[in-house]
Structure formats: C-alpha cells, structure tokens
Chains A and B, each alone.
Chain A
Amino acid sequence: MFTLAIKDLKLFFADKRAMILGFAVPIALITLFAFAFGGVGGEKEMARPRRLLVADDDGSLGSKKIIDQLDSLPEFRVKRMQRDSAEMRVKKGDEAAVLIFHEGFSDSLDAGNKPPVEFKYDASKEAEIAILQGALTGKLMAMIGGKSMLKNALANFDRQYPDMDSASRAQIHAQIASDMGGGQSQQKQESFIRTTSLIAEEENSPGLIHAVAGTAIMMLLFAVIAMGASILEEKQEGTLKRLLYSPLPPNQILFGKMISANIISTLQLTVMFLFAKFAFGLDIFSHIIPLLFMILASAYACASFGMLIASFAKTRQQVQSMSTLIVLIMSCFGGSMIPTFAMPEFMQKMSVFTVNYWSIQGFYDIFWRKLDWVDPTFLTRLAVLFLIGTVMNVIAVQLFKKNALKIA
C-alpha cells in the first residue's frame, strides 16, 4: 500500500506538468488574486437585492413600519430574526450583518431623539458590509432620520413660540416640513446608526485570505482529479492489470492512490500557505494548530473528491474533459472565485454542498474570526469536511471496484 503511494509520489515529482499545475500555477494565481482582492472594499454596488437580517427588539408599530418599508425597497430583502440567533449567525459567518432595532426605538423616534438602531457585522465580509451599509444608511436616514429631525425642529419651534395662533402655526409647520424635505438635510446629519463589529478587525486582510484559501482549494481540486484519474490511466496503460496480477488486495490499490492523493494535497496546501506567509505576510504561525487541522481536513475532502470524479469516468480523457467544468462550477458555487457573500442567494444556498465552501470558511475561521481549533464552529467545519470526504471515498471505492478495477 505504501509502496504504491511512494511510487505515485515518485511519478508525481517526475511529472513536470503535474508539478507546474500543482504548485507554480496556484502560486501565480494566488499572487494575482491577492492583489486583485487587496482592495476588496472598493467593490461596486450591485443592483440586485441584498438580504438584510433584521432583529426587532422594539417590536412596536413604529419599528415594524420601518422594517416593512425597508422590505418594500428594491435594494433589500428583509429577513426577520431573533436578535440572539441573528448575532450567532453573523458570528458563525453565515450572515454578514444584522440590523438591530433596540427597545425604545419607537419611543425615542416619537420623542424626536436619536433612535437606537445598531448595525452589527462581520468585518471579514468587508465588501458586503460596505455595500449594505452604504445603501442602508441612506434609506434609513430618509425614512426615520428626516422624520425625527422634523419633529425636533417643530418641537423647538413650538417651544420658542408657544403663543402663536393655530392657523399660522400650521402654515409655518408646513413651511418647515417642506424646507427640511428634499433630502439636503441628510447630508448635514451625522449617521445615527451605531455600527459594531462582532468580529475584530486585524492585520490579515480578508482579501488575502480569500485569495489564498479560494485559489489553493480550487487548484487542489484540479490536481486531485488528475490523481484520481491516474487509476484510469493505469488501466489504459496496462499497469493496473499488472497490479492486479500481484497478491495485493484490490482495495489496497485504491487505498494506495488515496494515500498518495492525500499526501500530495496536504503538501500542496502547506506550500500555498507557506507562500502566503512569506510573500504576503499571512500570519500562519500563530494559528498553526487549527491551520494544520484544516489543511488535513481540506486535503482529505479534496482528495476524496478527486477519487469520486475519477470513479465515475471510463477513461482519463473523459475525466479531463469533465473535470475543468466540474471544478470551475464547484469553485464558483463554493466561493473560490467570488466570495460567497457576493453571490445571489440561491448560489449561497448551494455553496454548502461544495468542498470549497467548508474549507474556505474554515480558513476564515482561523485567520479572520480567529477561532481556536476547539471552537464548535471550527470543529463543525472539520467534521463536515471529514464527513464529505468519507462519503465520497466510500462511493468512489464502490464505483472503482465496479468499473475501473474490472478488467472485463
């Protein structure tokens, strides 16, 4: 079994093309994306509606009305949720932010005071936050900001001129209201939305993490499919036959492949993160334990994925023509190219079915959310990766036994 793996490793390192694809290309891409995503915050706003998580602690008619108004805007699709669970989701990285209407919102609005609205967010989702916040501030200001200012102004006016007759008062009130409309007032106003990052910002730029994790996983998928396909190649070349002549149990031929695929995957990911460390200063050494776990889990899941894809095919050529498409689609859904939060909702829902998603989120956990490896969120990601990997392995072994390992 290990003899097989060693042979595969020898073959891998003898194959210049595999080496270039496995190491040089991903390094080049990571570099490219690291620069491209460096200024992630400057992304342009997109026209389609963004999901907005809203927690209504106030629960009053006033807050409800504002939330309904937000929901009716084309820019947002509001999702109402309990504050605790909403904050939890942000912390876990499932949502970018939550808009909280604190208790007393209606009252302070009526009283013309600064209403307690809070925007809590995950700073690793810089780009999305910037877009959401930008859109939100404007709209909310228009809805409540103007109203409270007007109330303030009218109240001040009434206090200054308590003796005015009601007809003149109504006339002047109308005058003030129209003066303050039109929106110029917004510019003068300070944003009253309190913003709180639920996750601390730090030196590892999310763009960099995304570039490294996303690209490394995507390129790894290409590499592992090629490794899985090498079983088919061995069949075509006749060496599989010779393996089967030997007393080696057929299962071990597959295990040998898996071992070598896992070793090469682990190596590849390790090299990528080392590169990120030395080229871009990604702080890998202070998170070394969770990082190692995540590398192993990702390598395992990816290697299994490669085996699975190869086990479906009949020839190496088939795998090659399928693999590009499959990897690109999966990487796209899984957030290897565009971060998941920047995708339409249906794609975000699909992303959990990809290896990429769990790995990339795992790497975010490490470098951004700074979770320790015992953190349940992080452990969940590890578990999911191992589970996905094992399921894929089992299916792959069955299929290989049925197809590739059968000479006739």
Chain B
Amino acid sequence: MISVSNLRKKYDAAEALKGISFEIQKGEFFGLLGPNGAGKTTTISILSTIVEPSQGEISIAGFDLKKNPTACKKNIGVVPQEIALYNDLSAFDNLLFWGSLYQVPVEVLKKRIDEMLHLFGLYERRNEKIKTYSGGMKRRINIAAALLHQPQIIFMDEPTVGIDPQSRNLIYEVIAKLHQEGMTFVYTTHYMEEAERFCDRIGIMDNGQIIAQGTLEELKSLSKIDETIVVSFSNLDDVLFQQLATTHNSIVREDGVVRFLSSDAKADLSTVILECNRIGLSITHIDIQGVNLETIFLSLTGKQLRD
C-alpha cells in the first residue's frame, strides 16, 4: 500500500530525514514512534505531498508520489499534528468545507458528516463554532475532517496530544473501529502505550532515522533486553539519580521509580540492590517486569522517549 525507500530531507540547517525506508501493507497499522524532532512529522508531510523530499522513492496506493501526487492525495486522509480548522465556522460547516474539497457529492457528504458527528459524540454541538469547543472536541473534529472522503489510507500525526481522557478514549474507539474496517494507518506518537495498543508494526525513529522496525515482538528480541528491574525509592532525587546513572547506563527514571534494563534480571538484581544501598537510596519496592517500547527505545538509543 505504501512503500518508501531511502527517503531523505534536508532543511537549510540540518538533515531531518537521513534515508528511511519502510513498507506498509493494506490494512496494516504502522506506528512511527520517536522523541521530539525525530522526523515523524517530516515523514508524514512528505507522504502527504506537502513537503518535497530531497531524495527517495515513494509510492502510495500504487501511484508514484512524484509523478501522480493528485492520485495519491485522493487516497489518503491526513490528520495534522496541529488542529487545522476554521475557528469561526461551526463544526458542521468545517466538515462540509473540508469534505467538499474532495468532491464528495453534497448529499453523500452531509450524510457522512452526520455519521461522523455521531461517531465522535459531537452531533448535538454541530452548529456551534469551533472556537467554543474544548481541546479534546477540536481534536475529534480534526480527525473527522480527514475521514469524510473515506480514504483507504489515513495518516495521523500525534492525534491525541494534550487532551482529556474522555476524548482520548473516544478517539481510541474510533481508531480501533477504522482499523477493524480495514483502513491502513500511519500513526505517529511518542506515547508508547498507544503504539503498543494499536500498532501491527512499529518503526522506531530517532534523529532522522528509523533505528528499528517490526512487530512489538520483533523489536523486543532486537533490543536484547528481556526484563526490567523496577525499583521504587523513598528518597530519590536528582543527585542520587545522577550517581546511579554513572554506574548503570541503561536506566530510566519515572516519578520516584527507576527502571534498570537487563538481559538477565535475576542475575543483576543483587548488584542493583547493593549499588543502591551503597549510595544511600532506600528501596521501598522492587518488581521485575517485561520490556516495553520505552525500554526498547532506551536500550537502542541510550535516550528516553519522553523528556
């Protein structure tokens, strides 16, 4: 459905994409996971034809992106990272406008808009201006606007950033439904939970490159980490954490908790405890867990996914 090979993008200052390649099958849910500035949006922008690549081959739905951008565009729906709606128009008028750009007949379009509004739980407020909506509601309309022409492929660029749990869950439901109906997804996020929940395959991006890609299982085996030792402390602070970090290079700190990455947790457990005692950290709880994307990312890059 989508094939990208050796894609590069140079901006004046820096190279945002340093030669990435991936294939996405029909109906597949592909996730691009990476920290800020990894190049996720740049990738989506190039795939959605609004940014020209410096180099690379791309085909979407069987069309070459360079030769036939319009055909590509007709097959994709794009949910941009920012909310891109007219604040002074109602939700209904916004959807009517965005849908009409794809030449959907008005009657069909109106029916679909009603469906969308019901789906996203905003039918009652359809005639209110977007500017009166909460962030979460805007996000919902932002997504709906990309679906009206019923594209085969949908690009979503961090569609759930900074919203309330209610909106988020609603959006998750819609995503799950669309995925089930066979829509192909390219989904960027830096929430590993989202990636783990939806993605059939994941590309882990960092610094303009896809450093690993595959199913969650494949990524787990790639990272050579099997387990994490999760230790809770009562007196963790920056200084003590820094001290820990000098002796263990694969650790993640998450609100009072430190994860130690390990290929053999049982063997490493005693070293970890001894080390913590030595520098004066008092342990309140210890747990051994499997790996997740966060720890995979850490082991691959030595960096944390989230700031």
Stretch at the interface among A49-57, A208-216, A238-246, A276-284: A238-246
Check: B145 CB closer than 8 A to any chain A CB.
yes
User: Could you tell me if B50 and A244 are in contact, using CB atoms closer than 8 angstroms?
Assistant: yes
CB of A11 closer than 8 Å to a CB of B: yes
A15 CB–B CB distance under 8 Å: yes
Q: Is A167 an interface residue (CB 8 A)?
A: no
Instruction: Say yes or no for A3: interface residue by CB 8 A criterion.
Output: yes
The answer to whether B101 and A241 have CB atoms under 8 Å apart is no
Interface residues on B, range: 20 to 34
- Contact residue among B42, B50, B89, B129 (Cβ-Cβ distance under 8 Å from A241): B50
A229-271, CB < 8 A from B = 237-239, 241-249
B51 and A407 form a contact (CB under 8 A): yes
Q: Is the CB of B102 within 8 A of A241?
A: no
Question: Given A10-B89, A15-B88 in contact, is the A242-B145 Cβ separation under 8 Å?
Answer: yes
Contacts of A14 on B, CB cut-off 8 Å?
A: 88-89, 129
In the bound complex, CA of A3 to CA of B48 (Å): 22
Chain A 8-47, CB within 8 Å of chain B: the 1/0 string? 0011001100000000000000000000000000000000
Binary flags per residue of A372-408, CB closer than 8 Å to B gives 1, else 0: 0000000000000000000000000000000000011
Decide if A65 is an interface residue (CB 8 Å cutoff): no
List residues of B (100-147) whose CB comes within 8 Å of A's CBs. Answer: 100-103, 129, 145-146
Q: Decide if B258 is an interface residue (CB 8 Å cutoff).
A: no
Q: Which of B78, B103, B129 contacts A245 (CB 8 A)?
A: B78
In B37-60, the 8 Å CB interface with A consists of 42, 45, 48-51
User: Known contacts A243-B101, A248-B101; is A407 also within 8 Å of B86 by CB?
Assistant: no
Check A242 against B78 for contact (C-beta < 8 Å).
yes
A7 at the interface (CB under 8 A from B): yes
Closest B residue to A11 by CB, please name it.
B88
Contact B74 A247 (CB under 8 A): yes
Query: Taking chain B's interface residues, is the majority helix, strand, or loop, or is none over half, making it mixed?
Result: loop
* Neighbouring B residues of A247 by C-beta, 8 Å: 70, 73-74, 101-103
What is the chain B residue whose CB lies nearest that of A13? B88
How many of chain A's residues have a CB under 8 angstroms from any CB in B? 20
What residues of B have a CB within 8 angstroms of the CB of A245 in the complex?
A: 48-50, 73, 76, 78, 80, 146
> Which residues on the B side are within 8 Å of A241 (C-beta)?
50, 80, 82, 84
Question: Are B73 and A246 touching (Cβ within 8 A)?
Answer: yes
Select A407's contact among B50, B74, B97, beta carbons within 8 Å: B50
From A11, A15, A246, A407, give the contact of B101 (CB < 8 A).
A246
Bound form: Cα–Cα A3–B74 in Å: 17
A242 touches B11 (CB 8 A): no
CB distance from A11 to the nearest CB of B (A): 5
Interface residue from B48, B82, B89 paired with A238 (Cβ < 8 Å): B82
Cα distance A245–B74 in the bound complex, in angstroms: 9
Q: Closest B-chain residue to A15, C-beta based?
A: B88
Q: Which of A183-228 contact B (CB under 8 A)?
A: none
**For residue A237, which residues in chain B have a CB less than 8 angstroms away from its CB?**
82, 84, 87
Interface residues of A in 111-135 (CB under 8 A from B): none
Besides A15-B88, A238-B84, A407-B50, 5 more A-B contacts (Cβ < 8 Å) are A241-B84, A245-B73, A246-B101, A247-B101, A247-B103
Query: Which residues of B approach A to under 8 Å, CB–CB?
Result: 11, 42, 45, 48-51, 70, 73-74, 76, 78, 80, 82-89, 93, 97-98, 100-103, 129, 145-146
14 A-B residue pairs with Cβ-Cβ distance under 8 Å, sorted by A, are A3-B97, A7-B97, A10-B89, A10-B93, A11-B86, A11-B89, A237-B82, A237-B87, A238-B82, A238-B83, A241-B82, A246-B98, A247-B70, A407-B50
Which A residues have a C-beta under 8 Å from some C-beta of B?
A: 3, 7, 10-11, 14-15, 237-239, 241-249, 407-408
User: Which are the 7 A-B pairs with shortest beta-carbon distances?
Assistant: A238-B84, A246-B101, A238-B82, A242-B84, A245-B78, A14-B88, A244-B50
